[in-house]
Structure 1
Amino acid sequence: MSAEPAERVAVVVVTYNRADLLRGMLEGLAGLERAPDAVVVVDNASSDHTREVLEASRLPGLVAIHTTDNLGGAGGFRLGLQTAYDQGYDVMWLMDDDVVPAPDCLTRLLEVDGSCLIAVREDRSGALVEKAALRFDLRNPLAIRPKTASIDSTYATRAEMPATVEVENVAFEGFLVRREVIDRIGLPDASYFIFYDDVDFAIRARRAGFPIRAVRDAVLVRQLDFDQQHDLAGWKGYYMYRNLFAVHFRYGENALVRLKPWLVALAVVVLSPLRGGRAEARNVSRALRDARGMRTPPAR
């Protein structure tokens, strides 16, 4: 009997104005024990020396896509995944430009059965910093934040984890997806622009019958510290509110959960003199209005 053909793997990277981080990330890919068959890099209209870094790279199978506009992380990953999918790759492994995979990271992922897998992130000191949620609660209207437990809040170190851990959301940073998932649910929704596009994709995948597992021995090293305390009165705050509300409108499991964006928006406006001021109040009001227009996911 002939052996089954090996799966063809494409890495999909999205980058924006972080050329030096991108260089280190590409060097990490070049050092993988199991080399990917292609690396698709979406350069989101960077204005730094990203193009020069890509042109200097000798990574085999590198495909650089330079967009004329910044598509955001959501649009960049959609474009990169669409490119890899259209070229017939069996497995797509998504990356940001601020992580470096351990040499055996892809090997360890491909050893595990499953259509949706994630590598586990550590920081440069070896501390566990994987934020994927063990529980993302869209059923309890009293859960102010739907992420009620994460890997790094549950396990003190990566060594304490079981070999695989089922999770309910992901970051598009070390997420491996097989093409059968895209066959079933389609591509990420570019309308999110930034934040929650990965959460939306994970919810759709799980509801289509594809569990998501974190693979303990597949390690990614984050080169930057996590800083999730964004300015809710700034432009990122608008997207954080809008996209969180859109997820609740789309996937809330009961009417009270789908009502929660209205209550959150009201609370933010009432408390705005004590926190983000008028700018945050404007952000949350506009976010609520615009999220209502996102209640239906785009057709596959």
Structure 2
Amino acid sequence: MTATAPKVAAVVLSYKPDAGIIGNIDELAKQAERVYVVNNSPDDSATADVLAPLTRRDSVVVLDQAGNVGVAAGFNSGMRQALADGFDYVWIFDQDSTVSDGMLTALLTAFEQPGAPVAIAGPALRAEETGHLYDGESSSGIRDQVALISSGALFAREALDEIGLHDERLFIDYVDHDISLRARRSGFRIVKVYDTVLDHRFGASVPSTFLGRRIYLSNYSPMRHYYMTRNRVIMVRRYGLGRWFWEDAAYAAKSWIKVVLCEKDRNRKIGAALRGAAEGLRFRQVATRVD
């Protein structure tokens, strides 16, 4: 008897996108059976114009939100709809990530690995602005990870049925860390498939020069620094100082060196981070499950 091919839906989170999102969605629709576009800027006229062509695509469904509900709630809206519509896997993306040919097939092979079941599989990451793989992304095969970024991550329904969806109280940053670490705590594996690559951009990345060396600045807003710091503290309180923390601390240290030495508005960003740290310490850790 021939095994039934798994049903896969994609979810693309959209907030005031440019026209490039249409090409990304068209490429994604070649691999996923359906694409749910979560519109987090429903009252923005420019967004309506950009997304208008999608209404003519049978395989694409636009899900307008009440406003900017955040990354966690936005992804959950699309994932919840995909699960309700009977899909076996949900594949989630930021609006500015570009899928490569054959990526879905490569990611699905990860779920056939022996041993503990895989909850989430993701691709290697390449910087869209440079065309180079990010640090630590040059490898091959399928390897276990502590956590994966959201964009490009393929989730198994089996795992989501057990661990639930994203923690919407986090709103944006460390949403991906939380669901990855929660899955691992429940006995699932998190893996990266290095033989397929996603072009991705972190923040409003722009080139700059420091000590004669070309660097790229994320230029996150003070509000993003608030959430990054608040949620980093929350993650430490939830999961302790494990491997995830030291990997993240190395990334955060490099980012803050760029903020302090190279970026504009550094005083506001530092102040926002300090407020975030204080709020993270006050954050009420209650056991919640989002389905």
What TM-score do you get using the length of structure 1 for normalisation?
0.74
Q: Partners of 2:231 and 2:154 in 1: how far apart?
A: 23
In structure 1, what is the equivalent of residue 133 of structure 2? 128
Instruction: Tell me what 1:183 maps to.
Output: 161
SS at match of 1:100: coil
Pick the aligned partner of 1:81 from 79, 82, 88. 79
Please tell me whether residue 50 in structure 1 is matched to residue 47 in structure 2. Answer: yes
Q: Distance in 1 between matches of 2:59 and 2:141?
A: 31
3-state SS, counterpart of residue 170 of structure 1: coil
Aligned counterparts of 2:237 and 2:197: Cα–Cα separation in 1: 34
Residue in structure 1 matched with residue 5 of structure 2 by the alignment = 6
Change (3 A) 1:285 1:102: closer
| 1:284 corresponds to | 274
DSSP 3-state at the match of 1:41: strand
Question: What is the distance in 1 between the residues matched to 2:104 and 2:165?
Answer: 22
Unaligned runs of 5+ in 2: 113-117, 206-215, 246-259
Deviation at 1:193, TM superposition (A): 1.1
User: Deviation string for 1:16-74 (max 9, x for gaps)?
Assistant: 011323112112224x3xx3121111010252533333331354421101112101112
Q: Which residue of 2 aligns with 1:119?
A: 123
1:222, distance to aligned residue in structure 2 (A): 2.6
Q: Structure 1's 200 and 278: CA in aligned 2 closer, same or farther, altered over 3 A?
A: same
1:61-90 per-residue CA deviation (whole Å, 9 max, x = no partner) reads: 211011121011121111111111122210
Distance 1:278 1:70, change over 3 A: closer
Contact (CA 8 Å) 1:26, 1:59: kept in 2 or not? Answer: no
Alignment: residue pair count: 251
Q: For the Cα contact (< 8 Å) 1:95–1:175, is it kept in 2?
A: yes
What is the CA deviation profile of residues 119-149 of structure 1, one whole-angstrom value per residue up to 9, with x for unaligned ones? 12223454112xxxxxxxxxxxxxxxxxxxx
Structure 1 residues 75 and 104 mapped into 2: Cα distance closer, same or farther (>3 Å)? same
Closer, same or farther in 2 for the Cα pair 1:39/1:248, shift >3 Å?
same
Aligned match of 1:202: 180
What pairs up with 1:1-300 in 2 under 5 angstroms? Answer: 2-30=1-29, 32=30, 35-46=31-42, 47-57=44-54, 58-112=56-110, 113=112, 114-124=118-128, 126-129=131-134, 152=135, 154=136, 158=138, 161-222=139-200, 226=205, 229-230=218-219, 234-252=222-240, 277=267, 280-281=270-271, 283-285=273-275, 287-300=277-290
Tell me the alpha carbon deviations over residues 243-296 of structure 1, each in whole angstroms, 9 at most, x when there is no partner: 111111111169xx9xxxxxxxxxxxxxx9xx9547734652454235532423
Q: TM-score if structure 2 supplies the norm length?
A: 0.76
Report the Cα offset of residue 200 of structure 1: 0.4
